[in-house]
Homo-oligomer: A and B are copies of this chain.
Amino acid sequence: MKWPERVKVKEVGPRDGLQNESRFIPTENKIKWIDQLSLAGFDYIEVTSFVSSKWIPQLADAPELAKGIARFPGVTYAALVPNQRGLEQAIESGIDEIAVFMSASETHNRKNINKSIADTFPVLSMVTREALSAGKTIRGYISTVFGCPYEGKVEIDHVIRVADKLFEMGIYELSLGDTIGVANPRQVESMLEVLLKRYPAERLALHYHDTRGAALANILVSMQMGITRFDSSVGGLGGCPYAPGASGNVAAEDMVYCLREMGIETGIDFDKLLTAARYIQEKLGRTLPSRNLQACPS
Protein backbone atom coordinates (compact mmCIF):
# COMPACT_ATOMS: atom_id res chain seq x y z
CA MET A 1 0.00 0.00 0.00
CA LYS A 2 1.09 3.52 -0.70
CA TRP A 3 1.44 5.79 2.31
CA PRO A 4 2.61 9.39 2.40
CA GLU A 5 5.94 10.23 4.07
CA ARG A 6 4.53 13.31 5.68
CA VAL A 7 1.09 14.57 6.65
CA LYS A 8 0.06 18.09 7.59
CA VAL A 9 -2.22 18.25 10.61
CA LYS A 10 -4.15 21.49 11.00
CA GLU A 11 -5.44 22.02 14.50
CA VAL A 12 -8.87 23.62 14.68
CA GLY A 13 -9.78 22.74 18.27
CA PRO A 14 -9.56 26.27 19.70
CA ARG A 15 -12.25 27.31 17.22
CA ASP A 16 -14.25 24.31 16.00
CA GLY A 17 -13.81 22.46 19.26
CA LEU A 18 -14.47 25.20 21.77
CA GLN A 19 -17.41 26.74 19.93
CA ASN A 20 -19.59 23.85 21.11
CA GLU A 21 -18.61 24.18 24.75
CA SER A 22 -21.01 26.01 27.03
CA ARG A 23 -18.58 26.46 29.92
CA PHE A 24 -16.68 29.66 29.13
CA ILE A 25 -12.95 29.14 29.19
CA PRO A 26 -11.19 32.30 30.44
CA THR A 27 -9.12 33.98 27.74
CA GLU A 28 -5.87 33.53 29.64
CA ASN A 29 -6.47 29.77 29.76
CA LYS A 30 -7.21 29.63 26.06
CA ILE A 31 -4.00 31.54 25.39
CA LYS A 32 -1.98 29.20 27.55
CA TRP A 33 -3.53 26.22 25.75
CA ILE A 34 -2.84 27.61 22.28
CA ASP A 35 0.75 28.30 23.32
CA GLN A 36 1.01 24.63 24.36
CA LEU A 37 -0.23 23.65 20.90
CA SER A 38 2.41 25.83 19.25
CA LEU A 39 5.00 24.23 21.51
CA ALA A 40 3.78 20.75 20.54
CA GLY A 41 4.78 21.47 16.96
CA PHE A 42 1.60 22.33 15.08
CA ASP A 43 2.44 24.72 12.29
CA TYR A 44 -1.19 25.65 11.72
CA ILE A 45 -3.72 26.55 14.40
CA GLU A 46 -7.16 27.99 13.85
CA VAL A 47 -7.34 29.96 17.05
CA THR A 48 -10.81 31.53 17.07
CA SER A 49 -13.67 32.89 15.04
CA PHE A 50 -14.59 36.54 14.58
CA VAL A 51 -18.33 36.04 14.77
CA SER A 52 -20.88 38.02 16.70
CA SER A 53 -20.64 37.18 20.39
CA LYS A 54 -24.42 36.72 20.33
CA TRP A 55 -23.90 33.65 18.11
CA ILE A 56 -21.00 32.07 19.95
CA PRO A 57 -20.36 33.60 23.39
CA GLN A 58 -17.43 31.22 23.90
CA LEU A 59 -15.48 33.02 21.17
CA ALA A 60 -16.44 36.57 22.16
CA ASP A 61 -12.85 37.17 23.25
CA ALA A 62 -11.42 36.68 19.74
CA PRO A 63 -9.56 40.04 19.55
CA GLU A 64 -7.90 39.75 22.99
CA LEU A 65 -7.07 36.12 22.34
CA ALA A 66 -5.49 36.84 18.96
CA LYS A 67 -3.34 39.54 20.51
CA GLY A 68 -2.45 37.47 23.56
CA ILE A 69 -1.13 34.26 22.03
CA ALA A 70 2.59 33.76 21.50
CA ARG A 71 3.55 33.84 17.83
CA PHE A 72 5.89 30.95 17.19
CA PRO A 73 7.99 31.35 14.05
CA GLY A 74 6.74 29.20 11.20
CA VAL A 75 3.26 28.77 12.67
CA THR A 76 0.20 30.10 10.88
CA TYR A 77 -2.46 31.43 13.25
CA ALA A 78 -5.79 31.44 11.45
CA ALA A 79 -9.31 32.51 12.31
CA LEU A 80 -12.74 31.90 10.88
CA VAL A 81 -14.65 34.91 9.61
CA PRO A 82 -18.29 34.90 8.51
CA ASN A 83 -18.46 38.40 7.04
CA GLN A 84 -16.74 41.73 6.41
CA ARG A 85 -17.07 42.90 10.00
CA GLY A 86 -15.34 39.71 11.17
CA LEU A 87 -12.65 40.11 8.56
CA GLU A 88 -11.89 43.66 9.67
CA GLN A 89 -11.56 42.53 13.27
CA ALA A 90 -9.35 39.61 12.26
CA ILE A 91 -7.04 41.92 10.32
CA GLU A 92 -6.90 44.41 13.19
CA SER A 93 -6.04 41.55 15.52
CA GLY A 94 -3.08 40.52 13.36
CA ILE A 95 -4.43 37.12 12.30
CA ASP A 96 -2.19 35.46 9.66
CA GLU A 97 -4.83 33.71 7.62
CA ILE A 98 -8.58 33.67 7.41
CA ALA A 99 -11.02 30.85 6.82
CA VAL A 100 -14.43 31.17 5.20
CA PHE A 101 -17.16 28.58 5.32
CA MET A 102 -20.41 27.42 3.83
CA SER A 103 -22.35 24.19 3.39
CA ALA A 104 -22.79 21.82 0.49
CA SER A 105 -26.42 21.32 1.40
CA GLU A 106 -28.94 24.10 1.03
CA THR A 107 -30.82 23.45 4.28
CA HIS A 108 -27.71 23.24 6.44
CA ASN A 109 -26.40 26.44 4.88
CA ARG A 110 -29.65 28.23 5.67
CA LYS A 111 -29.76 26.95 9.26
CA ASN A 112 -26.09 27.69 9.87
CA ILE A 113 -25.59 30.97 8.01
CA ASN A 114 -29.18 32.12 7.69
CA LYS A 115 -28.79 32.53 3.93
CA SER A 116 -29.27 30.42 0.84
CA ILE A 117 -26.15 29.09 -0.85
CA ALA A 118 -26.68 31.53 -3.72
CA ASP A 119 -26.92 34.46 -1.32
CA THR A 120 -23.79 33.37 0.56
CA PHE A 121 -21.54 33.60 -2.51
CA PRO A 122 -21.62 37.43 -2.83
CA VAL A 123 -20.86 37.84 0.89
CA LEU A 124 -17.85 35.54 0.69
CA SER A 125 -16.81 37.12 -2.58
CA MET A 126 -16.45 40.45 -0.88
CA VAL A 127 -14.77 39.01 2.20
CA THR A 128 -12.23 37.07 0.17
CA ARG A 129 -11.48 40.00 -2.14
CA GLU A 130 -10.73 42.24 0.82
CA ALA A 131 -8.74 39.55 2.60
CA LEU A 132 -6.58 39.03 -0.46
CA SER A 133 -6.00 42.75 -0.88
CA ALA A 134 -4.97 42.88 2.79
CA GLY A 135 -2.38 40.24 1.92
CA LYS A 136 -4.08 37.38 3.80
CA THR A 137 -4.18 33.81 2.58
CA ILE A 138 -7.62 32.22 2.66
CA ARG A 139 -8.75 28.73 3.47
CA GLY A 140 -12.25 27.52 2.61
CA TYR A 141 -14.49 25.08 4.45
CA ILE A 142 -17.40 23.17 3.04
CA SER A 143 -19.67 21.58 5.63
CA THR A 144 -21.96 18.53 5.24
CA VAL A 145 -19.90 17.13 2.36
CA PHE A 146 -20.64 13.53 3.31
CA GLY A 147 -24.12 13.96 4.71
CA CYS A 148 -26.55 16.58 5.96
CA PRO A 149 -28.69 16.26 9.08
CA TYR A 150 -31.66 17.65 7.13
CA GLU A 151 -31.15 16.34 3.61
CA GLY A 152 -29.30 13.07 4.15
CA LYS A 153 -26.77 12.13 1.46
CA VAL A 154 -25.31 15.10 -0.38
CA GLU A 155 -24.81 14.99 -4.14
CA ILE A 156 -21.23 15.48 -5.24
CA ASP A 157 -22.43 18.08 -7.75
CA HIS A 158 -23.43 20.28 -4.83
CA VAL A 159 -19.97 19.96 -3.35
CA ILE A 160 -18.34 20.79 -6.67
CA ARG A 161 -20.57 23.80 -7.24
CA VAL A 162 -19.50 25.33 -3.93
CA ALA A 163 -15.88 24.20 -4.26
CA ASP A 164 -15.50 25.76 -7.69
CA LYS A 165 -16.84 29.07 -6.43
CA LEU A 166 -14.53 29.09 -3.40
CA PHE A 167 -11.47 28.32 -5.52
CA GLU A 168 -12.52 31.09 -7.95
CA MET A 169 -12.58 33.45 -4.96
CA GLY A 170 -8.94 32.66 -4.33
CA ILE A 171 -8.82 30.15 -1.49
CA TYR A 172 -5.57 28.18 -1.60
CA GLU A 173 -7.00 25.13 0.17
CA LEU A 174 -10.39 23.59 0.69
CA SER A 175 -11.30 21.67 3.82
CA LEU A 176 -14.03 19.12 3.16
CA GLY A 177 -16.05 18.61 6.31
CA ASP A 178 -17.86 15.54 7.53
CA THR A 179 -19.83 17.79 9.84
CA ILE A 180 -22.07 15.15 11.37
CA GLY A 181 -19.52 12.34 11.27
CA VAL A 182 -21.29 9.95 8.94
CA ALA A 183 -18.67 9.45 6.23
CA ASN A 184 -17.58 5.90 5.52
CA PRO A 185 -14.37 4.75 3.82
CA ARG A 186 -16.08 3.63 0.64
CA GLN A 187 -17.87 6.95 0.30
CA VAL A 188 -14.58 8.75 0.91
CA GLU A 189 -13.00 6.70 -1.85
CA SER A 190 -15.71 7.44 -4.39
CA MET A 191 -16.00 11.11 -3.40
CA LEU A 192 -12.24 11.64 -3.70
CA GLU A 193 -12.06 9.75 -6.98
CA VAL A 194 -14.24 12.43 -8.51
CA LEU A 195 -12.81 15.44 -6.68
CA LEU A 196 -9.18 14.53 -7.38
CA LYS A 197 -9.87 14.60 -11.10
CA ARG A 198 -10.89 18.22 -10.68
CA TYR A 199 -8.61 19.57 -7.93
CA PRO A 200 -5.02 18.70 -7.06
CA ALA A 201 -4.57 16.71 -3.82
CA GLU A 202 -2.46 19.55 -2.33
CA ARG A 203 -5.52 21.80 -2.52
CA LEU A 204 -7.74 19.52 -0.47
CA ALA A 205 -7.84 18.85 3.25
CA LEU A 206 -10.20 16.45 4.97
CA HIS A 207 -12.03 17.36 8.13
CA TYR A 208 -13.50 14.32 9.83
CA HIS A 209 -15.64 13.94 12.89
CA ASP A 210 -15.56 10.74 14.89
CA THR A 211 -19.27 10.64 15.72
CA ARG A 212 -19.58 7.08 14.45
CA GLY A 213 -16.01 6.02 15.17
CA ALA A 214 -14.79 5.92 11.57
CA ALA A 215 -12.62 9.07 11.46
CA LEU A 216 -9.25 7.31 11.43
CA ALA A 217 -10.48 4.73 8.93
CA ASN A 218 -11.58 7.61 6.69
CA ILE A 219 -8.21 9.32 7.11
CA LEU A 220 -6.52 6.09 6.13
CA VAL A 221 -8.45 5.77 2.89
CA SER A 222 -7.92 9.46 2.18
CA MET A 223 -4.16 8.97 2.50
CA GLN A 224 -4.33 6.02 0.15
CA MET A 225 -6.08 8.30 -2.34
CA GLY A 226 -3.25 10.85 -2.06
CA ILE A 227 -4.58 13.29 0.55
CA THR A 228 -1.98 14.54 3.04
CA ARG A 229 -3.81 17.34 4.85
CA PHE A 230 -6.18 16.77 7.73
CA ASP A 231 -7.91 18.89 10.34
CA SER A 232 -7.74 17.79 13.95
CA SER A 233 -9.07 18.86 17.31
CA VAL A 234 -7.13 18.25 20.51
CA GLY A 235 -8.95 15.92 22.88
CA GLY A 236 -11.58 15.16 20.25
CA LEU A 237 -13.26 18.44 21.16
CA GLY A 238 -16.06 19.66 19.00
CA GLY A 239 -19.07 17.80 17.99
CA CYS A 240 -22.20 17.42 16.17
CA PRO A 241 -24.99 19.64 17.49
CA TYR A 242 -27.47 17.05 16.25
CA ALA A 243 -26.04 14.31 18.46
CA PRO A 244 -25.48 15.78 21.91
CA GLY A 245 -22.94 13.83 23.92
CA ALA A 246 -21.51 12.21 20.81
CA SER A 247 -17.83 12.40 20.10
CA GLY A 248 -16.50 15.36 18.14
CA ASN A 249 -13.79 16.08 15.61
CA VAL A 250 -11.12 13.44 15.23
CA ALA A 251 -8.79 13.82 18.20
CA ALA A 252 -5.41 15.25 17.23
CA GLU A 253 -3.63 12.82 19.53
CA ASP A 254 -5.41 9.78 18.05
CA MET A 255 -4.39 10.86 14.57
CA VAL A 256 -0.85 11.84 15.52
CA TYR A 257 -0.30 8.61 17.48
CA CYS A 258 -1.46 6.47 14.59
CA LEU A 259 0.59 8.39 12.02
CA ARG A 260 3.68 8.29 14.21
CA GLU A 261 3.34 4.53 14.67
CA MET A 262 2.98 4.20 10.91
CA GLY A 263 6.22 6.12 10.44
CA ILE A 264 4.45 9.08 8.84
CA GLU A 265 5.95 12.41 9.86
CA THR A 266 3.72 15.16 11.29
CA GLY A 267 6.25 17.33 13.11
CA ILE A 268 4.09 17.10 16.24
CA ASP A 269 5.42 15.87 19.56
CA PHE A 270 2.93 13.33 20.91
CA ASP A 271 3.77 13.88 24.58
CA LYS A 272 3.51 17.65 24.37
CA LEU A 273 0.24 17.22 22.51
CA LEU A 274 -1.07 15.08 25.36
CA THR A 275 -0.07 17.80 27.82
CA ALA A 276 -2.21 20.27 25.88
CA ALA A 277 -5.09 17.78 25.73
CA ARG A 278 -4.96 17.16 29.48
CA TYR A 279 -4.88 20.89 30.12
CA ILE A 280 -8.05 21.68 28.18
CA GLN A 281 -9.78 18.58 29.55
CA GLU A 282 -9.15 19.82 33.07
CA LYS A 283 -10.39 23.32 32.24
CA LEU A 284 -13.56 21.94 30.68
CA GLY A 285 -14.12 19.66 33.64
CA ARG A 286 -15.30 16.64 31.69
CA THR A 287 -13.81 13.57 30.06
CA LEU A 288 -13.04 14.28 26.43
CA PRO A 289 -13.61 11.59 23.78
CA SER A 290 -9.96 11.15 22.70
CA ARG A 291 -8.89 7.51 23.03
CA ASN A 292 -5.26 8.32 23.76
CA LEU A 293 -6.18 10.80 26.46
CA GLN A 294 -8.08 8.04 28.25
CA ALA A 295 -5.28 5.54 27.69
CA CYS A 296 -2.67 7.99 29.03
CA PRO A 297 -4.48 10.03 31.68
CA SER A 298 -1.29 11.30 33.30
Contact among B1, B212, B247 with A257 in the assembled complex (CB-CB below 8 Å): B212
Using C-beta atoms within 8 Å of the partner chain, give the interface range for chain A: 35 or more
Known: A184-B261, A214-B258. 19 other contacts (CB 8 A): A1-B189, A184-B262, A185-B220, A187-B262, A210-B291, A211-B291, A211-B295, A212-B261, A212-B292, A213-B216, A213-B251, A213-B290, A213-B291, A214-B216, A216-B216, A243-B296, A245-B294, A246-B291, A289-B294
Count of chain copies: 2
Residue from B210, B217, B257 within 8 A of A220 (CB atoms): B217
* B213–A257 touching, CB < 8 Å: yes
C-beta contact mask, A203-214 vs B, less than 8 Å → 1, else 0? 000000011111
What is the distance, in angstroms, from A18's C-beta to the closest C-beta of chain B? 20
A219 at the interface (CB under 8 A from B): yes
Once the chains bind, are A295 and B184 in contact (CB under 8 Å)?
Answer: no
Closest to A187 in B: B261
Known contacts A1-B189, A220-B185, A261-B187; decide if A212 and B245 are in contact (CB<8 Å).
Answer: no
Knowing A212-B292, A213-B292 are in contact, say whether A3-B186 is a contact too (CB < 8 A).
yes
